[in-house]
Chains A and B, each alone.
Chain A
Amino acid sequence: MPAFPQAAKQQLANAQLRHNLADATSTIRRKRADVVGELDDWAQLREAGAAIKTHTLSNLDTYLEQFEAAVTAAGGTVHWARDAEEANRIVVDLVRATGEREVVKVKSMATQEIELNDALRAAGIDAWETDLAELIVQLGHDAPSHILVPAIHRNRAEIRDIFRREMGEVGTPAPDDLTDDPARLAEAARRHLREKFLRAKVAVSGANFAVAETGTLVVVESEGNGRMCLTLPETLISVVGIEKLVPRWEDLEVFLQLLPRSSTGERMNPYTSTWTGVTPGDGPQSFHVVLLDNGRTNALADEVGRQALRCIRCSACLNVCPVYERTGGHAYGSVYPGPIGAVLTPQLRGTTSEVDKALPYASSLCGACYDVCPVAINIPDLLVHLRTRVVEQDRGWRSTPVDVLMSLASWVFGDAKRLAAAQRVASWSRKVIGRKGTIGRLPPPLSRWTDARDAPAPAEESFRTWWERNRGGGAR
């Protein structure tokens, strides 16, 4: 996987992708703005949402223990996982203990993050994604490109081709006369998945929220595939990041307003399921929660960074991001794309790899993401914070070329005469290097800038010279 600047360049060349994304994000932005505008207390809800999450994180140990006790008392079993490998091992062992060789899955960012499907496959267990978009991605041997609409990069004709080619390989085939009408495609998915829902004995889910006080889990969805997975099988395994907790049942009154309006632009999503442990005679009679750390405590330890753990995965920040809108989700090289991915992923995975080091720079810092975030995560601030971390960590005992340039810049900017002289040189250089108004490729290390951006050529005259010429001579 190349780092963001290279990956973005490849994606930018994909006209279909850019067209799909522009359409999709503008539609969803408009819908969100409409339903958010309906609530005159949106600012107060957002403030409460941020405060509840901040409070929960500042008492996370207490709430985790409380949640564990409540789930256990309600007939469920709680498991703890330090990392992806441990979480996968727990889930594989639980599935094996049932004797089953397949599971149905409701879309879950946490299980994508730990690459659970690969671990299950390695253990000889088939995992079927049942969200329509996830099904498209899975059948297309592809990766999701949006938190909420994972197949946002595919158009209807591509989806028809994938269904016709792949469905028959793994179950009920697509009908021979399948067209690219979305209703027909959804119908094909319904028929294909129905067979799997009806025979599945084990399901795997994530959770949108977990209530510490009561041990209640909440899954928010639209299609009913979530309800199928959560109620028809005999065993349910939910993989839940430790940051998903909220203290009390009544706290959901805030998030069940913030989440659907921010994510799909609906007043409420079609289906929300809540369950507490096991209910005799209704739903799975064996229920397991896997509480996942996998880097979350690293983020928690960072006083600035921990606010990213407030994220409720609504994807509003993706839909307003000018960078995401043009590159799509794959360029980020992470399960969490867009602005939130650019701050969450480097905290969960660390900033040692080239991909993770580049992520805090995958932004124009325009601030639109902060404006729409329902839990007020200051993403631009966090990006700058993480850029500082990347620079500090890369600074060894000797100066890098960037350090040399920065000291030179600070020497030039430190004195008005030196700056004026430098600006004269720059204006003159325009005749040589920037006659088209932009500068082409600069030599290293400046190429790191010009490879990913068009740098404007220096102005023909500096503002100071212009001022001197037009307004100069008078009293200051």
Chain B
Amino acid sequence: MSAGSSAREVVLGRVRSALRGAERTSWEDVPRHYRRHRPAPDVVELFCERVADYRATVDRVPADGVGAAVVAAARRTGARRVLAPAGVPQQWCELLRAEFELVSDEDGIGTAELEQVDAVVTTAVVGIASTGTIVLDHGPGQGHRAVTLVPDVHVCVVTESQVADDVPDALRRLDPARPMTFISGPSATSDIELKRVEGVHGPRTLHVLVVPD
């Protein structure tokens, strides 16, 4: 691809000549007086408040009640087919199977099949208190990215120790090599007269369960 490589040389050449004589600063010299942490009296409580601000449903549940809470959350939405990705605790799956048609993603579920799923139940990797955000890095228990996108209901379980106080704290806990999805409330748009409407393409219902470790 000679045309491509020459464009590369031309663009880099233009950048270098544009910067001739310019001072080249060092990354370490960037002033970083902003907060690296944003302590709150109760970080987990703040996380719950901020998630609820997005019109998501938030429940704090005891460690031994997670399975039952997951089932109750799915039941509330009237779901029939529920997907639990590989890595979700076996106990939740058994409770879910008792009440719903349980779908697995073991063999890599396709988009067309996902269209037939009403609700998905996942874990998360990080929560961010200051912004009310949950982060998925699509590791075990979280499914690949489409799994939490196509179905209309997402039930997400976050443990208390996963809650970071602020964005810098959260990013430090994450591995950029993994694909990631930061979720703050259900899908929303304000494109029509700036009126907020929940649910355009992503899940219209987000239910977050916060549990002790």
Contacts and interface: CB of A to CB of B under 8 A. Distances in A.
Interface of A: 20, 23-24, 27-28, 41, 44-45, 47-48, 51-52, 54-55, 58-61, 64-65, 74, 79-82, 86, 90, 130-133, 136, 149-152, 155-156, 159, 182-183, 185-186, 189-190, 193-194, 197-198, 211, 214, 216, 222-225, 227-228, 230-232, 242, 247-250, 252-254, 256-257, 264, 266-276, 279, 281-283, 291, 293, 297-298, 300-301, 303, 306
Contacts of B16: 61
B25 A58 contact: yes
Query: Which of B111, B171, B194 counts the most chain A CB atoms within 10 A?
Result: B194
A48 B193 contact: no
B63 to A, nearest CB: 28
Nearest to B195: A182
Interface in B197-213: 197, 199-203
Contacts of B33: 41, 44, 47-48
A238 to B, nearest CB: 14
Given A58-B22, A297-B15, A222 B146 contact: no
Nearest to B12: A61
A213 to B, nearest CB: 8
A193 B202 CA distance: 12
Contacts of B31: 44, 47-48, 51
12 contacts: A24-B193, A55-B26, A151-B191, A223-B187, A231-B144, A231-B146, A249-B176, A271-B183, A272-B181, A279-B138, A283-B145, A297-B11
The 3 A-B pairs with the shortest beta carbon distances in the complex, nearest first, are A224-B202, A224-B201, A301-B18
B123 interface: no
Interface in B32-76: 32-35, 50, 53-54
Contacts of B4: 79-80, 90
A27 B191 CA distance: 13
A193 B33 CA distance: 44
B98 interface: no
A291 B15 CA distance: 13
Given A250-B168, A276-B176, 15 more contacts: A44-B34, A48-B30, A51-B29, A54-B25, A55-B29, A61-B12, A79-B7, A82-B10, A156-B192, A198-B112, A225-B200, A273-B179, A281-B108, A293-B14, A297-B11
Contacts of B133: 268
A24 B14 CA distance: 40
Interface residues of B, number: 72
Contact of A41 (B12, B34, B53): B34
B27 A248 contact: yes
Contact of A291 (B11, B108, B188): B11
A242 B11 contact: yes
Given A41-B35, A48-B30, A257-B167, A225 B201 contact: yes
Interface string B119-158: 0000000001011110000100000111001000000000
A9 B184 CA distance: 41
B23 A58 contact: yes
Contact of B189 (A186, A227, A250): A186
B169 to A, nearest CB: 9
A300 B18 contact: yes
A253 B168 contact: yes
A247 B27 contact: yes
A274 B7 contact: no
Interface in B87-141: 108, 111-112, 115, 128, 130-133, 138
Query: Which of A136, A156, A231 counts the most chain B CB atoms within 10 A?
Result: A231
A60 B15 contact: yes
Nearest to A24: B194
A237 B210 CA distance: 37
A270 B202 contact: yes
Nearest to A31: B194
Contacts of B138: 279, 282
Contacts of B132: 267-268
Nearest to A59: B24
A319 B194 CA distance: 13
Contacts of B181: 227, 271-273
A227 B192 contact: no
Nearest to A275: B179
Contact of B171 (A247, A253, A297): A253
Contacts of A271: 181-184, 187, 202
A86 B192 contact: no
Nearest to A54: B25
Given A300-B15, A300-B19, A214 B187 contact: no
Contacts of B189: 132, 186, 222-223
Contact of B11 (A82, A270, A281): A82
